[in-house]
Structure 1
């Protein structure tokens, strides 16, 4: 009888967790990695994501405060070389150069293997037909 009670309690806990449908650390890591990959393809890995806090104003919006680490896969110089070698018109190259300049302002002259710690960042998410998506 105790086994049945224990199993029932475990199943109830799992069901309640699934029903809450708030993004956990795994989903937040995935969303952050997608965001960085979209901006700087193949440049960095997101690691050690910790959800510090989270709240919902409605079932369609969720806000999460997170901390995480960024590990650079290549140096700033190597990344810049890749960007300048890509084909494109002069305007595209200018935008890419400006974006890379902002990257250097934010993280400095990083090398492959360098790590950067984001101590706190607020993420705003929206529920879509395909699940949670970052809005910022």
Structure 2
């Protein structure tokens, strides 16, 4: 029994030291990146999958992932909110630019629309774990 516990503990330790980011780490990094580019909570991420991964060296990893963006607001809802929001001409101009940006990124989306995405994540290992590499 003691040997089984030791082997089980050792296997968990080795799995944690494998050097590869977990699927949940990859999903978290994608969510952070998407939130930085789209500050409004207009979608959620569903069906996140790691398709493939490549350990380039101890500090670099590439992962091919797929997921769906599921919209919880429509472009029309966001446009209506922007029109009704208080503010001056510069605020309205900024809101209009945001709408143009959302349209270019995601098209004319409606509530419940699903947008399938695939991308390759290039990661660098830092002192605090994995992060997306900046080109």
- TM-score if structure 1 supplies the norm length? 0.78
- CA positional deviation for 1:72: 0.9
- CA positional deviation for 1:92: 4.6
Structure 1 vs Structure 2 CA RMSD: 2.4
1:7 paired with 2:9, answer no
Q: Which residue of 2 aligns with 1:66?
A: 65
Cα 1:44–1:13, aligned 2, differ >3 Å: closer, same or farther? same
Inter-partner Cα distance in structure 1 for 2:48 and 2:22:
10
Query: For each residue in 1:10-47, what CA deviation from the matched residue of structure 2 results, as whole angstroms up to 9, or x when unmatched?
Result: 11211111111321111111111111111112111112
Inter-partner Cα distance in structure 1 for 2:13 and 2:107:
46
Indicate the SS of the match to 1:27.
Answer: helix
Which 5+ residue runs of structure 1 have no aligned equivalent? none
- CA positional deviation for 1:89: 6.0
81-90 or 121-130, which moves further after superposition? 81-90
Inter-partner Cα distance in structure 1 for 2:74 and 2:6:
52
1:33 paired with 2:35, answer no
Inter-partner Cα distance in structure 1 for 2:32 and 2:115:
18
| Within-5 A mapping of 1:14-25 | 14-25=12-23
- TM-score if structure 2 supplies the norm length? 0.79
Q: How many residues align?
A: 130
Which 5+ residue runs of structure 2 have no aligned equivalent? none
Contact kept, 8 Å, 1:29 with 1:47, in 2: the verdict is no
- CA positional deviation for 1:82: 4.2
